[in-house]
Amino acid sequence: MTDNAIDRFFTNDLEAFAAAYFNHIGEVLKRIDPKAVARFVELFIDARKRDVTVFFIGNGGSASTASHFACDIGIGPREFDPPFRALALTDNNAVITAIGNDFGYEDVFTRQLRILGRPGDVVIAISASGNSPNLVSAIEYAKTAGIKTFALTSFDGGKMKQIADDGIHVPTDPREYGPAEDAHLILNHIAGNYLMRMVKQQAAAA
């Protein structure tokens, strides 16, 4: 019995496996809603206009994606007047371990948002399953604090897809972490590449 598409096309032939993986990623990407992607990128444009902060959160590979997003959105456009205020709440090991040790891992993002978040800010939660307790907790807190929430999910979307204000769902079978995280990084690069060119175009027209 197979669990997902990768299990079904797995073969010991590495060339064939690579070709099948590339093909599968292409099919997954085709099923992502471009309108949702447009709304996602518009979040950053709007946040810049309103001079608010976009926070990124995630666990494991998605924590790395959160850091990548903060780098590409905050620094990538090469424009700081006004800036794109982007911050990954995954990047301070001392803070994360202090909160995890003293209060529990479920609170590692919520407690940071209580300190740093302001009404009107944006939280982007990244999770393949959509069920990580610390991300769900952060979204629930954000909604009570006037902070917008956007979920990047996969599999069936989990609880995050249900409770976030908006989101992009990457449609894969369960436990397809590779394709889910690949797609989330592609969304990062779509946003970063668009914003870089947008501000360059604006500067040229000024």
For residue range 170-186, what is the model confidence (pLDDT) as tens digits? 999 999 999 999 999 99
Residue 1: pLDDT band with limits 50, 70, 90: very low
Torsion angles phi and psi, residue 153, rounded to 5: -130, 180
DSSP state of 59: S
Give the number of C-alpha atoms closer than 13 A to the C-alpha of residue 6, restricted to the C-beta side. Answer: 14
Per-domain residue ranges of the chain: 5-205
Mean pLDDT of 31-57: 98
The rounded distance, in Å, linking the Cα atoms of 15 and 24 is 14
- pLDDT tens-digit series, residues 110-145: 999 999 999 999 999 999 999 999 999 999 999 999
Backbone φ, ψ for residue 51 (5° rounding): 60, 45
pTM of the model: 0.95
Is the pLDDT assigned to residue 66 strictly greater than 50? yes
Q: What is the pLDDT of residue 2?
A: 58
Homologous superfamily, domain 5-205: Glucose-6-phosphate isomerase like protein; domain 1 (3.40.50.10490)
